[in-house]
Homo-oligomer: A and B are copies of this chain.
Amino acid sequence: MFLEVVRSQGLAHLSYIVGDQGAAAVIDPRRDCEIYRTLAYERGARITHIFETHRNEDYVIGSLDLSRKTGADIYHGEELPFAYGYPVTEGDVLRLGDVSLRVLKTPGHTYESISLVLADLSFGEDPVAVFTGDALFIGDAGRTDFFPDRAEEVAGLLYDSIFNKLLPLGDHVILYPAHGAGSVCGSGMASREFSTLGYERKHNPALQLADRSAFIRRKTGERHYQPPYFRRMEQYNLEGAPPLDLRVPEPLKPGDFARAMGEGMLAVDVRSAEAFAGAYIPGSLAIPLHMIPAFAGWLLPYDRDIGLVAHDHGSVETAVRYLARLGYDQVTSFLDGGLHQWEMSGSPYDSIPAVHAGNITARLDAQEPFTLLDVRTREEYEAGHLPGAVHVYVGELPHRLEDIPARRPVTTFCGSGERAIIAASILKRNGFEDVEDCLGSMAACSALGCPIEK
């Protein structure tokens, strides 16, 4: 028997392959799915089954691609009219050697959500682990904000799934959720990647409430963001996404890159916040490489070509992979030679001055006329912010530009300075002229003991 976790960085997505005696099942495969075949191959197994714990909204699931390459069948909950695969229902059991996977319907996050209970038949039918999808995480419970007009109903369903179906499996059962810390699918997840139902029962904050009503109140009181790309993911994951084709984008010389921008290509700069601050192509959008999984879905359209500005070839490849996981298949080119070539070509570039947290405080004290734009989440903002800060979440900024005073200097601000560079690039693209970024931002303010309001 073998079980391997496949982590997708940035998405904080966890998928699994489990098998025995030559057969294997994959749970919630990602779109660039070659890794599962490699793992199966190393273990001498064929992938015969693919499970989707639910229709995911935050990434393109790789079931169809993996099925095409392996012949494996796909299974999901029966409540949605998936255009492919087969429905499963409570109590269905798959056996692979001594592995048994039993379906448990655990609605709440979505109606069709299922969990899969793993038993090692060489030791008996008692469960040893459970794959919970987005129902139960380590340190948090799944989001229930996708059906706003039925908010209490689905929160109640999740309560029942957790307390009446999952926890009764036993304290000794290992928990394998579909996301870890950093995912947009929850906000309180532990950085630890291993836990049990018993440990969660005792220590998961979401499970420590008085009763079902308290749980429902907590869940309906949560405020989550829903990036616009969720709609595209839901469509892809219901109808089936197009096959993945991880192409090498074309290198373009500065002149050609500028021309392509002129013809509608969106330039996405995946370099570090500092490098963007130092020099960038006017009109380009900053999304530092590691932030693509969390922010591309807010900011990138699906109907425009994308051209990358990157530090090196490895970054180009990683960016292409990250974007493909979100269904962005139209990365057509990258700037050959990077910004250095751009500069040498004499093409125009711009900069974003960096402001130290200490200076921000000084300015505030001096009541200098400027907008301190805090682009963190509502929760972060409400947990503490600098006096006078204007709050607009970075993901919503492109649609709320009118909320920013136009002819005043703006200093963008976030938790550390990275979302702030994204925000700064958005402002610059939209005609704001005097824009600075507070590198260090809230973390630096905390370290320096700046005054903080709640």
Among A122, A126, A172, A418, the most chain B Cβ lie within 10 Å of the Cβ of A172
Contact yes or no, B273 A274, CB < 8 A: no
Minimum Cβ distance to chain B for residue A24 (Å): 11
Minimum Cβ distance to chain B for residue A22 (Å): 6
Contact yes or no, A353 B354, CB < 8 A: no
What does the 1/0 interface line of A412-454 toward B look like (CB < 8 Å)?
0000111000000000000000000001110111111000000
What does the 1/0 interface line of A324-363 toward B look like (CB < 8 Å)?
0000000000001101100111101101111011100000
Q: Known contacts being A172-B202, A202-B172, is A344 close to B440, with CB within 8 Å?
A: yes
List of B residues within 8 angstroms of A346 by Cβ = 357-358, 440, 443-448
Contact yes or no, B192 A173, CB < 8 A: no
A223: CB under 8 A from chain B? no
Q: In the complex, what distance in Å separates the CA atom of A2 from the CA atom of B190?
A: 11
Q: In the complex, what distance in Å separates the CA atom of A337 from the CA atom of B340?
A: 24
A258: CB under 8 A from chain B? no
List of B residues within 8 angstroms of A344 by Cβ = 416-417, 440-441, 443-444, 447
Q: In the complex, what distance in Å separates the CA atom of A307 from the CA atom of B127?
A: 39
A251: CB under 8 A from chain B? yes
A151: CB under 8 A from chain B? no
Closest to A247 in B: B69
Question: What 9 pairs across the A-B complex have the smallest Cβ distances?
Answer: A172-B198, A278-B278, A277-B278, A346-B447, A344-B443, A274-B278, A343-B440, A275-B275, A346-B444
A78: CB under 8 A from chain B? no
Q: Known contacts being A126-B203, A336-B22, is A343 close to B174, with CB within 8 Å?
A: no
Minimum Cβ distance to chain B for residue A440 (Å): 4
CB<8 Å pairs between A and B, sample of 14: A1-B190, A2-B191, A20-B191, A42-B313, A98-B191, A122-B191, A123-B199, A128-B195, A129-B194, A171-B198, A274-B340, A278-B352, A340-B416, A345-B443
A93: CB under 8 A from chain B? no
Known contacts A126-B199, A275-B275, A353-B353; can you find 19 more A-B pairs with CB under 8 A? A1-B193, A2-B191, A120-B192, A129-B194, A170-B171, A170-B198, A171-B171, A272-B340, A274-B274, A274-B275, A278-B351, A343-B416, A343-B443, A345-B444, A346-B357, A346-B358, A346-B448, A349-B439, A351-B353
Minimum Cβ distance to chain B for residue A316 (Å): 9
List of B residues within 8 angstroms of A356 by Cβ = 348-349
Minimum Cβ distance to chain B for residue A172 (Å): 2
Taken together, the copies of this chain in the complex come to: 4
Q: In the complex, what distance in Å separates the CA atom of A197 from the CA atom of B277?
A: 50
Contact yes or no, B170 A124, CB < 8 A: no
Q: Known contacts being A42-B313, A416-B340, A444-B344, is A203 close to B275, with CB within 8 Å?
A: no
A186: CB under 8 A from chain B? no
Closest to A352 in B: B278
Minimum Cβ distance to chain B for residue A133 (Å): 18
Q: In the complex, what distance in Å separates the CA atom of A139 from the CA atom of B98?
A: 15
Closest to A250 in B: B46
A214: CB under 8 A from chain B? no
Q: Which of B139, B196, B313, B353 contacts A172 (CB 8 A)?
A: B196
List of B residues within 8 angstroms of A171 by Cβ = 170-172, 196, 198
A224: CB under 8 A from chain B? no
Minimum Cβ distance to chain B for residue A175 (Å): 10
List of B residues within 8 angstroms of A337 by Cβ = 44
A41: CB under 8 A from chain B? yes
Q: In the complex, what distance in Å separates the CA atom of A144 from the CA atom of B376?
A: 58
Minimum Cβ distance to chain B for residue A178 (Å): 17
The A190-217 residues at the B interface (CB cut-off 8 A) are: 190-199, 201-203
A276: CB under 8 A from chain B? yes
Contact yes or no, B343 A123, CB < 8 A: no
